[in-house]
Amino acid sequence: MTLFSFFLQAGSPAPSALLQFAPIVVIFGIFYLLLFLPMQKQKKAQAKMLAELKSGDAVVTTGGVVGTITALDSDTITLRVKPDNLKLQFARSAVSALFTKDASNEGSR
């Protein structure tokens, strides 16, 4: 009697349906904890930062433009960009981060 035929005997019980789907449920749980939960936290933090923008804040846009906010509307912002004090208008959602002096000094260390 081979090992394969031993498992195919009529007397062996079949695994339950719940036991067959357990690995799939565990994989989905791991994906949720490692991928979706951190993404949701990051989206909430980004939305909070965008809501708290005020005139005078130095920001970085998604395109890499660094400027100071001079005017805010409901969905747009106006940035003053150095060295010529050029004023550019962006969508509020184009702001990727607040620009701080500490962030600019980290690159030179």
Q: Please tell me whether residues 43 and 61 are part of one structural domain.
A: no
| Of 13 and 1, the one with more pLDDT | 13
Structure tokens of 104?
A: 């600019």
- Give the total number of structural domains in the chain: 2
Distance CA 88, CA 18 (A): 59
pLDDT tens for each residue of 14-63 = 567 778 888 999 999 999 999 999 999 999 999 999 999 999 999 999 99
- Cα 3 to Cα 7, 11, 42, 93, 103: the distances in Å are 7, 15, 52, 62, 64
| pTM to 2 decimal places | 0.65
User: Residue 6: inside a domain, yes or no?
Assistant: no
| 94 has pLDDT over 80 | yes
Q: What is the CATH number of the domain that holds 64?
A: 2.30.30
User: Residue 5: inside a domain, yes or no?
Assistant: no
**CA R_g for the chain:** 27
Q: Please tell me whether residues 24 and 62 are part of one structural domain.
A: no
